[in-house]
Amino acid sequence: MRASSYFIPTLKEAPAEAEVPSHIFLIRGGFIRQLAAGLYEYLPLGYRVLKKIENIVRKHMDRAGALEVLLPILTPSELWQETGRWDVYGKELFRVEDRKGRMFALGPTHEETITDLVRKNIRSYKDLPKNFYQIQTKFRDEARPRYGLIRGREFIMKDAYSFDVSEEMAVKSYNLMKETYRKIFDELGLDYLMVEADTGAIGGKYSHEFVVKVPNGEAHIVYCEKCGYAANVEAAKYEFELDKLPPEEEKPLEKVHTPGVSSVTDVAQFLGVDEKKIVKTLVYILDDGTAVAVLIRGDRELNETKLINYFNVLDAHLASSEELEKLNIVEGFVGPIGLDIPVYADISVKDLHNFVVGANEKDYHYINVNIPRDFKPVEFVDFSTAREGDPCPVCKAPLKETTGLEVGHIFLLGTKYSEAMKAYFVDRDGREKPIIMGCYGIGVSRLMAAAVEQSHDENGIIWPESIAPFKLHILALNIKDSQIKDVAEQLYQKALGMGIEVLYDDRDISPGAKFKDADLIGIPYRIVVGKKVKEGKVELQKRGAEEKEEIKITDVEGFLQKLQ
């Protein structure tokens, strides 16, 4: 491709709204442009990258035996009503009405549609297993689209759905996808982790996320370097035993005056005790309106996902001042003793002795509290958020913490959708049974951003070879110099003839501008044709590497062969 007839509108300055490297460089490099919040246009260069990512995903999905389909983006509301998600999915669902008043959703994901297809066309165990996938534009009316391609309202996703006759077979399908995902992300050249995850609103039995390690990522991950355990903090466990305080003789319960002192730090300081001996009492309101108290040691953070899962609700929130008042609970001095609502305790409170809690009375705390002498929680549950340094739940080595960008998520769904939508098959024994499902997503357009987040420098993008828009960039530094032009032209034709994807910068602009653009665009290999042609030499460079290498023009062919 000749740069002079191509379309790469690079920018010297980043648009004011771009904050993160992938957003800045994809816009500056002429890969994408923004149309509206969360909506992006893929320009020729950007679309080349996107297609490369798609094709790598497609190749590995096909090899795994998955069957590519294309489902309508518009999905009738009736299907969403069947699974209850028309209401549950909430405002994130883009809803549209046709001229007859029938409601549709712009598909944010396609469990309903594919399950409908399968229930209408699969009747027997002989038709299973099957795994259908598609690569398609998805729509989610995000409350807050941000960071360019990382969180858009319209984005490209690969979504796959497996259908099996038994849980055992479904696990096999799930594991096959797990391996397939590894191959995909390996080939994309990304540094990623596969982590245990929470299933969230999609539901199901268990799930794993694939997370690209980037600074300031949205996903918080803990992982163990020793045994390989890794999990999203939403789902992460840790081995609490190692962090327990030593046993103590029980002292008599005492109420102490603590005027205006209510935060853990303040109470610990005021009473001169370790934060680990202060127990926080958090009042949560579940989505059915029930209030529960949850105790957790002062140095630990509560994990709302664990709480929501334990109580098997869709949502829960910390009680507001008004809600506390209605319950007759004294804000800032809440404690388990004499509380009228059910009290649950995090495992961090188990075997804790002579600790401090609020006295349910303004400006008072109890000290030397002991279980079960002074109160008895309904149950001890793991409610706390794992963090760096906590012992690994598998091997007890200290956990590490990192942030990342979720680029893939796989779920073993079980029968959630097949039962709701009556997707049954007739088994070998002649009985009708629900199909066991799994679903598997990859954020294709987000991967483009993830690759840039992970691979760039201050001058621009450094594309992994597998997804670079072109493999080779030829710069003719002075196109008016006929010798330079002839040599560059020759090399370009030769590369084209060898089937190498090459971008030839034949524009009549200054050398500096060409170098800057080349760095910004980030094509892996570069041949610079300049003054040295007079000595029969050109320069080779690899994007991201400092060194330049001068080689004889006659030797370029050998270099090109390596790029084929």
Judged by the rule CB under 7 A, the positions of this chain that interact with RNA are 10-17, 19, 28, 34, 36-38, 92, 108-109, 138, 140, 142-147, 151, 155, 157, 159, 199-202, 218, 304, 315, 409, 411, 441, 443, 459, 477-480, 508-513, 515-520, 528-532, 539, 541, 548
CB of 549 to RNA, least distance (A): 11
| Tokens read off for 131 | 């795994």
Of 135 and 502, which has the nearer Cβ to RNA?
A: 135
Q: Report yes or no: 258 and 357 within 8 Å, Cβ to Cβ.
A: no
CB of 371 to RNA, least distance (A): 29
Of 348 and 478, which has the nearer Cβ to RNA?
A: 478
CB of 99 to RNA, least distance (A): 23
Of 145 and 391, which has the nearer Cβ to RNA?
A: 145
| Tokens read off for 147 | 């960071």
CB of 121 to RNA, least distance (A): 25
CB of 380 to RNA, least distance (A): 24
What is the bridge-based pairing of β-strands 380-381 and 343-346? parallel
| Tokens read off for 327 | 């319950």
Query: Omega before 434 cis (within 30°)?
Result: no
Of 302 and 356, which has the nearer Cβ to RNA?
A: 302
CB of 123 to RNA, least distance (A): 29
How far apart are the C-alpha atoms of 115 and 122, rounded to whole Å? 10
Q: Report yes or no: 434 and 268 within 8 Å, Cβ to Cβ.
A: no
CB of 72 to RNA, least distance (A): 17
Query: Omega before 215 cis (within 30°)?
Result: no
Instruction: Dump the DSSP string for 284-352.
Output: EEETTS-EEEEEEETT--B-HHHHHHHTT-S-EEEPPHHHHHHTT--TT---STT-SS-EEEEGGGTT-
Of 19 and 179, which has the nearer Cβ to RNA?
A: 19
How far apart are the C-alpha atoms of 183 and 188, rounded to whole Å? 9
Q: Which strand ranges, in their side-by-side order, compose the sheet holding 380-381?
A: 316-318, 279-286, 291-297, 343-346, 380-381
Of 37 and 394, which has the nearer Cβ to RNA?
A: 37
CB of 405 to RNA, least distance (A): 11
Which residue from 177, 149, 155, 162 is spatially nearest to 73, judged by alpha carbons?
Answer: 155
| Tokens read off for 534 | 């007079």
Q: Residue 398 burial (CB < 10 Å; 0-12/13-18/19+)?
A: middle
| Tokens read off for 382 | 């793991």
How far apart are the C-alpha atoms of 370 and 391, rounded to whole Å? 26
Of 28 and 365, which has the nearer Cβ to RNA?
A: 28
434-471 burial code (b ≥16 CB/10 A, e <16): bbbbbbbbbbbbbbbbbbbbbbbeeebbbbbebbbbbb
CB of 302 to RNA, least distance (A): 11
Of 144 and 428, which has the nearer Cβ to RNA?
A: 144
Which residue from 168, 138, 140 is spatially nearest to 70, judged by alpha carbons?
Answer: 138
Of 25 and 375, which has the nearer Cβ to RNA?
A: 25
CB of 308 to RNA, least distance (A): 8
Of 222 and 528, which has the nearer Cβ to RNA?
A: 528
Contacts of 394 (CB under 8 A, 6+ apart): 224, 227, 229
